[in-house]
Amino acid sequence: MAGVIYVVATPIGNLNDMTPRMREAFEAADFIAAEDTRVTVKLLNHLGIKKPMISYYEHNLKDKGEYIIGRVLAGENCAVCSDAGTPCISDPGEILVKQAHANGIRVIPITGPSAVITALSVSGQNTGRFCFEGFLSTAKKQRLEHLEQVKNETRTMIFYEAPHKLLNTLKDFKEYFGADRSLTIARELTKLHEQIWLTTVGEALDFYTENSPKGEFVLIVAGGVFETAEKELTLDDVAHKCIEIMESENIPMKEAAKLACVKTAFSKSEVYKAAQNLRG
């Protein structure tokens, strides 16, 4: 008979967030697939548990996944965990869970912390409808495509970010969401220097321009509130608006397109192209 796969959430900072079910799952597992075995061994040592471990990380997901599935089909139980938080959420695990479903293997959630929900719960932003956006790509093209997709989002948006990329991300937020957009910065959750700061994009940008960001960050951005009239503008309307702005402000068409597209359903490049066509 096939074994099972436990998808085990682990603390995001505070070891007191370990749960009895987490311990039980590690004990019930024949082996543990860990993102970084050096990190997970510390947790296991803390619990006094010794188990065989294999590393399961970004660059070996498919092959290791097939290997894990093979062992589970042969009857072993596997616990999968990441360095911190819930596997599969911007962490390894998603492919393994898909492979498990495809092979009829039972997947058991061992619930626990995840930075996304922890941050949202204390953010002071609307929680009724939200979307998790993970990390913005470091590749410029994908990053801008991603921001274009969420530019008109009305739900609360949650992003993960690394400290060395925070400043650039805040600059991009200013461009796409505006300086006045409400933003909560949730830093070092459940740790000694935990900080929950309900602010605006502009204020946060000013602060982190002066102070270098330290620690782990979740950014919770309020959804946009758009006037129906702006949403209903056609591309042709916005292209005309672009030309008007360009002429009245005496600025290049690219800059005018950036201003004209705000709160509309169109990207600045769409508006730029349409305005160029109008100009002939």
Binding site for ligand SAM (CB under 6 A): 12-13, 82, 84-86, 89-91, 114-115, 160-162, 186-191, 216-218
Answer for the pair 243, 275: CB distance below 8 angstroms, yes or no.
Answer: yes
Closest approach of Cβ 113 to ligand SAM, in Å?
7
Q: Which is nearer to ligand SAM, 135 or 226 (CB)?
A: 135
Q: Which is nearer to ligand SAM, 81 or 274 (CB)?
A: 81
Question: How far is 82 from 93, CA to CA, in rounded Å?
Answer: 8
Q: Which is nearer to ligand SAM, 53 or 189 (CB)?
A: 189
Q: Could you give the C-alpha distances from 103 to 166, 229, 257, in angstroms and in order?
A: 40, 51, 51
Q: Which is nearer to ligand SAM, 8 or 260 (CB)?
A: 8
Closest approach of Cβ 34 to ligand SAM, in Å?
13
Q: What is the torsion angle, in degrees rounded to the nearest 10, for the CA atoms of residue 105, residue 111, residue 113 and residue 116?
A: 60
Q: Which is nearer to ligand SAM, 90 or 199 (CB)?
A: 90
Closest approach of Cβ 245 to ligand SAM, in Å?
37
CB environment 16-46: b (16+ within 10 A), e (fewer):
ebbbebbbebbeebebbbbbeeeebbebbee
**What residue is closest to ligand SAM based on CB?**
85
Answer for the pair 208, 179: CB distance below 8 angstroms, yes or no.
Answer: no
